[in-house]
């Protein structure tokens, strides 16, 4: 009987209908989703920063000063300079 009880417990743990197993699978999926979404956000953020840097550089080439760009964007001129350097 002891072996049957041990096997029953083992089977219960491995059963896909076991609430704990479902919860474990759910938290693994949630973590995987979170990590994937964070990576996508980082990629989007990097692209957005690059586009902003390009536009600021074009504005500077068109004759706007750092101060002019800063006034248009409500940023400090030092921050504009940082963005143009490499963010």
Please report the pLDDT score of residue 33 as a whole number: 97
Please report the pLDDT score of residue 86 as a whole number: 84
Q: Which of 2-16, 26-40, 41-55, 71-85 has the lowest mean pLDDT?
A: 2-16
Cα dihedral sign for 36, 40, 43, 46? negative
**pLDDT digit string, tens, across residues 33-64:** 999 999 999 999 999 999 999 999 999 999 99
Please report the pLDDT score of residue 17 as a whole number: 78
DSSP state of 86: T
Task: Report the chain's mean pLDDT, rounded to a whole number.
Answer: 88
Q: Is the pTM of this model over 0.85?
A: no
């Amino acid at each position: 009987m002891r072996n049957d009880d041990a096997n029953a417990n083992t089977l219960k743990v491995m059963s896909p209908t076991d609430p704990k197993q479902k919860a474990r699978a759910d938290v693994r999926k949630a973590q995987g989703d979170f990590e994937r979404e964070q990576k996508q956000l980082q990629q989007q953020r990097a692209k957005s920063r690059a586009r902003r840097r390009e536009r600021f550089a074009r504005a500077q080439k068109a004759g706007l000063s750092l101060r002019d760009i800063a006034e248009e964007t409500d940023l400090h001129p030092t921050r504009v300079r940082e963005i143009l350097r490499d963010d």
